Amino acid sequence: MTTLTLNVDDAAAVKARRVAQRRHTSLEDMLRGFVVSLSGDDADDAAASQRESAAQKLLASFQELSRPLGGKGYASRDELYER
């Protein structure tokens, strides 16, 4: 494992520590996850594939379960604003 040294101004370091605390993790683990996410390894590809599959299933369910809401179907913008 490689050790990296990172120089960051104090205000940014404090903010990053707060974010890590809110996520119930260490700053080191949070930054490690960020660096790993940049590598584009196979796990990221699998996760992206799962997200894409879930999105397609969601869209299919929207199309299957959608129902007309009624109302007048306007043919043109002018017809919509006709008084």
Indicate the DSSP class of residue 25. S
CA atoms within 13 A on the CB side of 54: 6
Residue with tokens 């940014």: 12
pLDDT at 74: 66
Rg of the chain over Cα atoms, rounded to whole angstroms, equals: 24
Could you read off the pLDDT of 1-51 as tens digits, one per residue? 788 888 999 999 999 999 999 999 999 999 988 888 777 666 667 778 888
Q: How far is it, in rounded angstroms, from Cα 3 to Cα 7?
A: 13
pLDDT at 21: 93
